[in-house]
Amino acid sequence: MTSEALSKGYEPADVEARWIAYWQEEKTFTPDPDGPGEPYSIVIPPPNVTGALHMGHALNVTIQDILCRYHRQRGRNVLWVPGTDHAGIATQNVVERSLAAEGVSREELGREAFVERVWKWREEYGGKILNQIRCLGASVDWTRERFTFDEGLSKAVREVFVRLYDEGLIYRGDYIINWCPRCHTALADLEVEYAPHIGKLYHIRYPVEGTDQFVTVATTRPETMLGDTAVAVHPDDERYKEFVGKHVILPLVGRRIPIIADAYVEREFGTGCLKVTPAHDMNDFELGRKHGLEVISVQDEAGRINENAPEKYRGLDRLAARKAVVEELKDLMLLDDIRDYEHNVGECYRCRTVIEPYVSKQWFVKTGPLAKVARQAVEDGRTTILPDQWTKTYYDWLDNIRDWCVSRQIWWGHRIPAWTCDACGELIVSREDPTTCPACGGSALTRDPDVLDTWFSSALWPFSTLGWPDETKELKAFYPTSVLVTAFDILFFWVARMMMMGLHFRHEVPFKQVYIHALVRDAEGKKMSKSLGNVIDPLIMMERYGTDALRFTLAAFAAMGRDIKLSEDRIEGYRHFVNKLWNAARFALMHVSGGAPEMELAEAAKAGLGHAMILSRLERLKQTVGAAIESYQFNEAAQELYGFFWREFCDWYLEMAKVDLGGEDEAKKGAAKRVLLTVLSDVLTLMHPFMPFVTQEIWSKLPGVAEPNLAKVPYPAAHPELVSDAAEADMELLKSVVVGVRNIRAELNINPGVKLTALVHTENAAEAASLAANAAMIGFMAKLETFTAGLDVVAPKASASAAAGTCALYVPLSGAVDFDVEILRLSKEEVKTVKELTIVEKKLGNDDFVSRAPADVVAKEREKQDSLAERLARLRELKDRIRKLMADE
């Protein structure tokens, strides 16, 4: 094999497509449940079928892939399950928009035809995000791809619903829920997102019955007063004690409603007097149940005023009704005040419509008993949440959990398996579609029109994807799963609910660890959003710089508990690292294309300090990378790989190996080949979980490999006998001498072609012996004509000096440097620097500039000032040193 085995430059696109196809054809990532190795399993957080890959997905998939590829290397039997979520509301909205463009509504189409249309859309577009995940190099088992609406998961959903109903943990009842007037469906508390709004706070006077007095309430939603059934005050509020037990006459309606006392009322908010509308406020609903108040709903499903309000308001949209109510209150002299008021308003997480609390008949999961068990599982360590800071958040949510509203008034989703007998009203919940009523024998049955919350089916994901409710081999082998990798924002939506369902139906936690990864932000630390225009598209980055560069960048910054500040420059920087790996491999293959001698590594290590050092450092690298991945410190693992390969292998070892590889000593040449091929193959294996494509491509060109598929190659075996503190210490001393000479050459502007002399004084005989033994290598690396080291070395006249570890390095400069020319050069540089510094100092001394310029501009000027001042000090110090050298001549 020749150096042409690898092309001159690395072109990611062709390489990536080829290996993605190869791994899939070979079923590389399809495990046998009965296969050898301890099981290790992950279920992918199922992205919405409507979704497209964003940087958060890219980070999530990269982390999971590192874990899966690494644990395969460690001999584990790894299953990574892919799939998508049917995303009820989101998908229905997408298809409805498509229909609207055709001038058709879902109501006109009808339920059956609409659902068929959604399935057609899913078949055509639903695989988009999975293809993008495939392009990331995800080592998932594509033969086990699942969908939350496929036949197997539908069976699991139905089984869970019926069993929970039979156990009394699912019930149907009238309750106040979050209602989206746009989507016409209930939303769980977690599906409501709060955003700040500048609204109005209206102070309205309610006449006290039988008196000429008033109580004044404060509200942000005056239109809901049409459904008021009480006014509440705090029992200790002296302003209103005399009114408790009396009644007011509800303005605009004329209804007589009581004044009640309850400690729930905040005396400091508004007027301290609260209107109670049980049908249109979550807290008022609970207050109404406590005090036995009537529940009067005055809005319909579309947010319009209904027949329970005075006729003049009926049919008005809620905002139009608000305006009409306010105008009439003004006319009646019952509006005391209107103030601007900033408050958080709940919005639908899908369409951003302002949510309306709404009382309706819904299905609920009784979460209290389930939450208690889910909390205990984390408390006793069966599941660990990382970073630990999220454990308290998890506890807080479970401690304050409300019953989960699981019914949704849409058509795309798992239809609730409940029927009502038209004849006798019997409610039937069944695994199979019933044909007759078990109570009266009637055959006229009406199915509940609602579907289940999307998160209901997602909550079953860790065991439903493995074949439950059937007792499959996969379920037996791979449940509970090993780890869940997810973002913090679905800790409650999904993680807690999976815990509840897994423990209830499998009596085991669904995962042993939960790793919560951070957010990917822009370079300034801002959250990426289309509105800010700071979104970095992973697909564009992959096309521009290659997938490996993107993956390695994400891993290198994935410190536990810290958000990632990402920029395109950083991704481009790691593309240079991919190129460095490629070019180093091309160099290595020029020398080891025919293989390497069968030589014990311990024997090869004796052939030279460079060999001993790199083999020792490689052993430490195996340990640190493995430990970092095991502890989810992906950034540390990536940085260790980067530092070893670029700084130790390329910058030092390859330069040293060139001596033996280009020499005539066949024994030394053989040792160099053996070490070079060993280090390259082991490094490719270690890097493979982070950069699967470039490592696989290079691996395919290595001579003599037993396994061509790098994804199947074990983690490099440990050779503790190769760890050598002495070799590493000797190498550090050699490096300090070489770097010292290079720095002197650079500071004094000495031409690289000029051969220098270097001397080292040491007080340590062992150091002297090490330096003497490696004198030829030091001379080669530092471009020296002669090199001497010893206990009796003294500083020659007119020599530059530097510290080299604990030793003193001297480089005689007579004949190597024209001191007069150098003084002139430094003086010119000094004058230029002084001018630049003066300009900056003048700018910073201008109060107008400092006070008016943006903070980041001022900060950059201060940094420039510090840099120029440091440069000026260094130039002057160097001039002084040269003058002293001139005096020594």
| Strand pairing report for 356-365 and 170-180 | antiparallel
Using CA atoms, how far apart are residues 286 and 278, in angstroms rounded to an integer? 7
Using CA atoms, how far apart are residues 33 and 889, in angstroms rounded to an integer? 80
The packing angle between helices 497-506 and 368-379, to 10°, is: 90
Degrees to nearest 5, angle at CA 220 with 217 and 221: 95
Using CA atoms, how far apart are residues 812 and 223, in angstroms rounded to an integer? 92
Using CA atoms, how far apart are residues 619 and 605, in angstroms rounded to an integer? 13
Asked if 39 contacts 86 with a C-beta cutoff of 8 angstroms, the reply is no
Using CA atoms, how far apart are residues 36 and 52, in angstroms rounded to an integer? 36
Q: Which of 648, 618, 642 is nearest to 735 (CA)?
A: 648
The runs of H, that is alpha helices, within 292-420 are: 318-331, 368-379, 389-399
3-class secondary-structure state, position 729: helix
Residue 5 exposure: Cα atoms within 13 Å on the Cβ side: 20
Degrees to nearest 5, angle at CA 71 with 581 and 458: 115
Task: Using only the alpha carbons of the chain, give its radius of gyration.
Answer: 37
3-class secondary-structure state, position 492: helix
Residues paired with residue 298 on neighbouring β-strands, in sequence order: none
Q: Which of 76, 83, 82, 77 is nearest to 31 (CA)?
A: 77
DSSP summary character for residue 303: S
What residue has token string 């009480």?
Answer: 230
Residue 58 exposure: Cα atoms within 13 Å on the Cβ side: 27
Q: Which of 557, 538, 674 is nearest to 606 (CA)?
A: 674
Asked if 559 contacts 633 with a C-beta cutoff of 8 angstroms, the reply is yes
CA-based end-to-end distance of the chain: 57
Using CA atoms, how far apart are residues 253 and 248, in angstroms rounded to an integer? 11
Asked if 469 contacts 431 with a C-beta cutoff of 8 angstroms, the reply is no
The runs of H, that is alpha helices, within 507-608 are: 538-545, 547-556, 568-592, 601-605
- Residue 658 marked ligand-binding: no
Please enumerate in sequence order all residues whose Cβ is within 8 A of that of 676, keeping only pairs 6 or more positions apart, or say none: 588, 591, 592, 596, 657, 661
Asked if 248 contacts 259 with a C-beta cutoff of 8 angstroms, the reply is yes
Residue 19 exposure: Cα atoms within 13 Å on the Cβ side: 26
**Helices and strands per DSSP (H, E), number in the chain:** 30, 29
Q: Which of 676, 682, 709, 542 is nearest to 597 (CA)?
A: 676
Residue 598 exposure: Cα atoms within 13 Å on the Cβ side: 1
Q: What are the distances in angstroms from CA 65 to CA 72, 141, 323, 386?
A: 11, 12, 56, 18
Asked if 554 contacts 521 with a C-beta cutoff of 8 angstroms, the reply is no
Look up residue 293 and give its two tokens. Answer: 């108040």
Q: Is the peptide bond before 480 cis (omega within 30 degrees of 0)?
A: yes
Report the binding-site residues. Answer: 530
Report the binding-site residues for ATP. Answer: 530
